[in-house]
Structure 1
Amino acid sequence: MEDAELEKIRKARLDQLKAQGGGGPGKAGGPAGAGGQDQAQRQQAEAEARQSILNQILQPEAADRLGRIRLVKEQRATDVENRLIMLAQSGQLRSKVTEEQLKELLNAVAETKEEEKIVVSRRKGWADDDDDDLFDL
């Protein structure tokens, strides 16, 4: 049963990638309304498949915590969900994820986000405000 749902997600993702690549209906010559409706249906099916997988791999407490995180930081929740689904698809999850394991994963995602920060340091140029006093006579 789990393999069928994973296959359904893969198929939905493949369809989505084909549509983005320009080969899907509605891109060239098809009615725009029908293409938008197909895309909305695909997104709905993908969301349902993701939720189904998450329900299978998360304990209820962990699912509740992830839902609360989604209310505050949607992107972080999506990143954690993607990582959980990837772990499940690769067979690295042996049991349902507990709330403590979810906290550890959240901390890991937060640490990687902190590492990605970019610090811009500007060098002083020849015409800085600090040098204005040199021209006063």
Structure 2
Amino acid sequence: MDDAELEKIRKARLEQLKAQGGAGKASGGGIPGGGEQAQRQQQEAEARQAMLNQILQPEAADRLGRIRLVKEQRATEVENRLLMLAQSGQLRQKVTEEQLKELLNAVAETKEEEKIVVSRRKGWADDDDDDLFDL
């Protein structure tokens, strides 16, 4: 899809949301202002996706989408880093799949792994307590 097609889709979706928002207000249902907030979040998500489409090659975007299916938090972190790099002017060209892999490895290395520590209470049958019953 090119930018013109995406813009047409966005406009159609925006009109659809406006129509739904107007119908909800006329019927008196829903939370006041809730439709505006949902619409704003939708617009922000669309703007974010449009920026990502501009800075990612299709293969890299597909990989990021697959990562989102498995680890949504990691995909969000990578997206945030990509957007930050783009806004600061550090990206000179579209990000390739290989560059995305490098960025994923960098995010994975900086992320601390969670550790699970199991502490067990001593039970009545522990060997350490056997010497207490010697007569």
Into which bin does the TM-score normalised by the smaller protein fall?
0.5 to 0.7
List aligned pairs for 1:1-137, cutoff 5 A.
33-113=31-111, 115-118=112-115, 120=117, 129-137=126-134
With the length of structure 2 as denominator, give the TM-score of the two structures: 0.66
Partner SS, residue 131 of structure 2: helix
Query: d(CA) in 1 for partners of 2:115 and 2:63?
Result: 30
With the length of structure 1 as denominator, give the TM-score of the two structures: 0.65
Partner SS, residue 32 of structure 2: helix
Report the identity percentage: 78
Partner SS, residue 47 of structure 1: helix
Partner SS, residue 34 of structure 1: coil
User: Shift of residue 131 of structure 1?
Assistant: 2.8
Question: Structure 1 pair 101/131, CA: closer, same or farther in 2 (3 Å)?
Answer: same
Query: d(CA) in 1 for partners of 2:127 and 2:87?
Result: 59
User: Shift of residue 116 of structure 1?
Assistant: 4.6
**Pairs aligned (count):** 105
Structure 1 runs (4+) deviating above 6 angstroms are: none
Q: Which runs of 5+ in 1 are unaligned?
A: 1-31
Greater Cα offset, 51-60 or 63-72: 63-72
CA RMSD of aligned residues (A): 2.7
1:9 alignment counterpart: none
Question: Structure 1 pair 91/130, CA: closer, same or farther in 2 (3 Å)?
Answer: farther
> Which structure is larger by alpha-carbon Rg, 1 or 2?
2
Q: Which runs of 5+ in 2 are unaligned?
A: 1-29
Query: d(CA) in 1 for partners of 2:127 and 2:72?
Result: 44
